[in-house]
Structure 1
Amino acid sequence: MTSAEPGPRVVVPTTRGPGRSHGPEWESGPVIRRAAVVRVPRTGDEPPLTEEQVRGASPVARLVTARPWVMDVTVAVVIVLVGLVGSGFVWETANTAVYLGLYRPDSGIVELATSTWLVGTAVGAALLLLRRARPVTVTVLMVIASLVSLQVAGVLGVLGACLACALYSVAASRSTTTTWIVFGAAMTVVTVALWQWQDLGLIEILAWFGVHPSNGVETLPFRAERPLFSPARRMGSVLLLLALLLLGVAVGSAARSRRLHAAELVERYRALARQRDDGIALARAAERAYIAREMHDVVAHSLSVMVALADGADAAFVRAPDRSRDALRQLASTGRSALADMQRVLGALGPADRDGTDRLAEPTEVDLATVVERFRAAGLPVTATGLDTALPQDTSVRLAVLRILGEALTNVLRHAPGAPSVEVTVRRTPTAVEVDVADAGGTRPGSGGTGRGIVGMRERAELLGGHVEAGPRPEGGWRVHAVLPCAPPDATGPADDDEGEGGR
């Protein structure tokens, strides 16, 4: 990641709180100011991760994955080639069986076994072309073809290998339960058929191939009472079939496991990408909320005082020019302070210093007495105690005290004009700084607000682990009480303040 654009701040959603003025409720939550500026790439800037990339497949594997029909055709061609070669072996084996007197010379077993072998090869290869789309159906049809081949000519041919390929597709695309059910059913049915009908199997081919003598040698006499094959040879065919089918299931299950693992990794990657994008969107929303809160604190507070000072200067211009001049000086001082604070806010949106600190995070005015005096000049009858209290060195606590005090007094100025008294108390305890602002209620109608007043105070307090209580007083008026810990508390949550639901 490179440093290219302003980084986001993080919002932690908390309880809902009513604004002091009549207005919509806002979601309140602490905003953590950034210490570094980074650029996080969006998901749309990155190519999507695929299962092939996770598997690290070879070019041939990627080709097969992109074009599955290539593998299907390849398997079918291999089966056809094996079947053609095997037909020569079964022809030789059938001739040997006739020579040994196991079949009558006129039984036609040679032609029947060879043709059945070839037809089974063609049917098996054709069915394997469909195994990817319909694996269970192809397996069932393959079992039926095996039964027909065994019953007609007593040979299974390459249909055993075809059945193993079909079971591979079942294991690769279906659940484990389905795979073993299909395997058990196919193995049972074909085993019974092998035991009952098979005459020429792989063991017979291996044992009798090449035994047939050259032409002109008479065959041995046919002995009808002699059985064709022993149970041991039948068991050999069954074990060979079992090994083939288990191999198909094992390879298919392994392929399915790799595919599912790759899909899980891809989904996890995409979930992380979505989570990152959601975090970026949340951070952008937090950035907008931060700007709105800072602009409210800087502009709304200062403009409220400046409007009150301008009205006072206008009213006293004729009868008390000295007071009017003082009000104008206060008006200019407030404007300069607001301009400096505005520059600080705009500077905070840019990159941080090289050491990772925010050089403009320090408030331009931390003299509480000056802040209170400014509101006195605007017409508020403020009685203050504890303004000389030594504030903590923590910039965030100092800024929170200043902002909460300014917001509370601004609310009195806007929503309770003509209040006969406003009491301000600042206290420092070993573990916290407390700010208390109480007014006796206005005598004239107040102006409306944006609903961000109390929300902003609570955000600042909750960020530091403190809380703000704001609501009407029983004896009349409004009270704001803030507690800001000087050190991070062990377990302090936001205050659950239900007072003032009908806030001013």
Structure 2
Amino acid sequence: MSAGLGEAPDLAELQVRRLGPVGRFLARRPAVGDAALIACFAAWALFTGVGADSMYALHVHLGDDTVLRIQTASLVLTAAGCALLVARRRRPVVVAAGMAVLGLGALALTGAPSGFDLGLALALHAVAVSRRPLVTWAVFVPAVGAMLVAARILPLPLQVGAVMSGLSPDSSTGPDPLLGGWQPIALPVLVLALLAVAVGTGVRSRRLHLARIVEAAEAVAREAEQRTRLAEAAERARIAREMHDVVAHSISVMVALGGGASMALDWAPDRARLALDELVGTGRTALADMRRVLGVLHDDPPADTADPADPAAAEPSVAPLPGIRDLAALLDRFRLAGLPVRATGIADPRLARVDATLQLAVHRIVQEALTNALRHAPGTAAVEVAIRLLPGRMEVVVADQGPGVPVERTPGSGRGVLGMRERAAAFGGTVDAGPHGRGWRVRAELPWDDEEDDA
């Protein structure tokens, strides 16, 4: 949970923690806080150990040489404690065990923890912050227990000093210069350790709570980003589908009209002129459709910047969507392009009550099916377009009788059939496309309820 020495917490965690200027500084630079804690420990250890009044008492009773050896050993223990605290974040359990051992040494030398009560508390705090409570108490009990037992059973400092001076422990006389008894020594160790564990456990609980908040926020952000990407992909697919419908249909019709006009130019100039006029009209319609489709990608140009020489440019960029009412004009364009289209059911008055979006889907499905017939079944004897309104559903069928002239089979991209199926699926419908007799048939079923019939 906690970062290593000198390792700053994640920015997301800092954003949800309410910290003041000093707290933010230390959170981003934990090495500074660790250095301050080590300095405090060293100062406290030197003050309560080497520089304590007990050293003066030992000096009076045992002499300079013995006290110097005790002070040197205390300095070594303090330096070792400082070195251990450097690894407090990375190896808290090891540091706690080491602090307990050094504290036992300090008790044996001076009869007091000599600052290692604070060192052990700092180590236990790190354990409580970074480990589960079970681990924390598994470290707490032996470490603190050893210090308490040592304070109770270890010989008093004058006895230790006598041994270091080569004397019998019983040869030292006079009252012990320390507080006397083991309770005043053990109590600070126990209180500091319990306080450190309590604070560390609270910090751990808060960090776990903040981590859950950050994780939930990140999950929401990921979900929102995924929804945005899906929406963008759906929009790209919709635009690609619309562009395919417009471009494929228009180009196929324009190619057929251009070819027919070229063939009829010599023997039927009037029909050729009619085909060319229709070709121009189809191009203008395609341009207007493309502008409408792409209108979602850019703002409409100002009216005064439109090209007056381009009739399509004068049309509004947002025009009524094509629907079933426009099927007659659509079929006329295909007839002029040479496709013998016969239609049934497109004039049913009930179709006027069909929803506009469903009408657009029907129009595009018929348009795509006729475009495929124009491309892949040239010279076909007939193309049947039928719309039937059945109970609860609408059936749209476009079927040709196969090419009337030899044609080279070229595989299509499949985008047109896929687009028809996607349009139908958006309404809960289906599209079947495949061979039918000598030709090809597209059959779409779309859900539809006539409200007046229901009434």
TM interval, shorter chain, is 0.7 to 0.9
My pick for the range that moved more, 160-169 or 336-345, is 336-345
CA-CA distance at 1:447 after TM superposition: 5.0
Q: In 1, distance between residues paired with 2:282 and 2:87?
A: 83
- Per-residue deviation, residues 307-361 of structure 1 (Å, max 9, x unmatched): 2222223333344444434433433332332232122223243359xxxxx9446
Structure 2 counterparts to residues 177-196 of structure 1, below 5 A: 177-196=134-153
In structure 1, what is the equivalent of residue 28 of structure 2?
66
CA-CA distance at 1:482 after TM superposition: 1.2
Query: Is the helix fraction higher in 1 or 2?
Result: 2
Cα distance change, pair 149–363 in 1 and its aligned pair in 2 (3 A): same
Q: Which runs of 5+ in 2 are unaligned?
A: 1-9, 158-171, 301-316, 451-455
Q: In 1, distance between residues paired with 2:440 and 2:323?
A: 28
Structure 1 contact 344–361 (Cα < 8 Å) conserved = no
CA-CA distance at 1:197 after TM superposition: 1.5
In structure 1, what is the equivalent of residue 14 of structure 2?
52
In structure 2, what is the equivalent of residue 373 of structure 1?
332
Q: In 2, distance between residues paired with 1:299 and 1:305?
A: 10
Q: In 1, distance between residues paired with 2:155 and 2:394?
A: 96
Match of 2:415 among 427, 452, 459: 452
SS in 2 for 1:157: coil
Aligned residues: 404
CA-CA distance at 1:454 after TM superposition: 0.5
Match of 1:259 among 189, 207, 218: 207
Q: Determine whether 1:197 maps to 2:171.
A: no
Cα distance change, pair 237–432 in 1 and its aligned pair in 2 (3 A): farther
Structure 1 contact 341–364 (Cα < 8 Å) conserved = no
In structure 2, what is the equivalent of residue 22 of structure 1?
none
Q: Determine whether 1:313 maps to 2:251.
A: no
Q: In 2, distance between residues paired with 1:485 and 1:318?
A: 50
CA-CA distance at 1:166 after TM superposition: 0.9
SS in 2 for 1:471: strand
Q: Determine whether 1:433 maps to 2:388.
A: no
Q: In 2, distance between residues paired with 1:151 and 1:487?
A: 95
Structure 2 contact 325–352 (Cα < 8 Å) conserved = no
CA-CA distance at 1:266 after TM superposition: 4.0
Q: In 2, distance between residues paired with 1:136 and 1:152?
A: 25
Cα distance change, pair 487–351 in 1 and its aligned pair in 2 (3 A): farther
In structure 1, what is the equivalent of residue 377 of structure 2?
416
Q: In 1, distance between residues paired with 2:274 and 2:420?
A: 31
Structure 1 contact 415–448 (Cα < 8 Å) conserved = no
Structure 2 contact 391–449 (Cα < 8 Å) conserved = no
Structure 1 contact 469–481 (Cα < 8 Å) conserved = yes
CA-CA distance at 1:134 after TM superposition: 3.4
SS in 1 for 2:353: coil
- Per-residue deviation, residues 396-435 of structure 1 (Å, max 9, x unmatched): 1111111100101111111122222322111224533321
- Per-residue deviation, residues 127-153 of structure 1 (Å, max 9, x unmatched): 334423432332222111122223344
The structure whose RCO (Cα within 8 Å, separation 6+) is larger is 1
In structure 1, what is the equivalent of residue 309 of structure 2?
none
Structure 2 counterparts to residues 276-295 of structure 1, below 5 A: 276-295=224-243
Q: TM-score, with normalisation over the residues of structure 2?
A: 0.75
Cα distance change, pair 317–87 in 1 and its aligned pair in 2 (3 A): closer
Q: In 1, distance between residues paired with 2:31 and 2:286?
A: 73
Structure 2 counterparts to residues 79-478 of structure 1, below 5 A: 79-86=41-48, 91=53, 111=67, 115=71, 121=78, 123-197=80-154, 199=156, 234=182, 238=186, 240-350=188-298, 359-360=318-319, 362-363=321-322, 366-389=325-348, 390-429=351-390, 431-443=392-404, 444-445=406-407, 446-473=409-436, 475-478=437-440
Q: In 1, distance between residues paired with 2:379 and 2:284?
A: 27
CA-CA distance at 1:159 after TM superposition: 1.2
CA-CA distance at 1:373 after TM superposition: 2.4
Structure 1 contact 135–170 (Cα < 8 Å) conserved = yes
CA-CA distance at 1:80 after TM superposition: 3.9
Structure 2 contact 112–185 (Cα < 8 Å) conserved = no
In structure 2, what is the equivalent of residue 25 of structure 1?
none
Q: TM-score, with normalisation over the residues of structure 1?
A: 0.68
Q: In 1, distance between residues paired with 2:131 and 2:184?
A: 30
- Per-residue deviation, residues 461-497 of structure 1 (Å, max 9, x unmatched): 1122222111222x33221111223479xxxxxxxxx
SS in 1 for 2:347: coil
Cα distance change, pair 282–351 in 1 and its aligned pair in 2 (3 A): farther
Cα distance change, pair 229–263 in 1 and its aligned pair in 2 (3 A): closer
Structure 1 contact 49–266 (Cα < 8 Å) conserved = no
Q: In 1, distance between residues paired with 2:249 and 2:139?
A: 77
Q: Which amino acid aligns with 1:398?
A: Q
Cα distance change, pair 180–422 in 1 and its aligned pair in 2 (3 A): same
Q: Percent identity?
A: 46
Q: In 2, distance between residues paired with 1:456 and 1:149?
A: 83
Cα distance change, pair 372–156 in 1 and its aligned pair in 2 (3 A): same
Structure 1 contact 87–114 (Cα < 8 Å) conserved = no
In structure 2, what is the equivalent of residue 10 of structure 1?
none
Q: Which amino acid aligns with 1:296?
A: H
Q: Which runs of 5+ in 1 are unaligned?
A: 1-47, 99-104, 201-220, 353-357, 489-504
CA-CA distance at 1:164 after TM superposition: 0.8
CA-CA distance at 1:229 after TM superposition: 11
In structure 2, what is the equivalent of residue 206 of structure 1?
none
- Per-residue deviation, residues 145-187 of structure 1 (Å, max 9, x unmatched): 1222233443323212210111112222334443332223313
In structure 2, what is the equivalent of residue 41 of structure 1?
none
Q: Which amino acid aligns with 1:367?
A: D
Cα distance change, pair 123–450 in 1 and its aligned pair in 2 (3 A): closer
Structure 1 contact 199–229 (Cα < 8 Å) conserved = no
Q: In 1, distance between residues paired with 2:45 and 2:189?
A: 16
Structure 1 contact 408–437 (Cα < 8 Å) conserved = yes
RMSD: 3.9
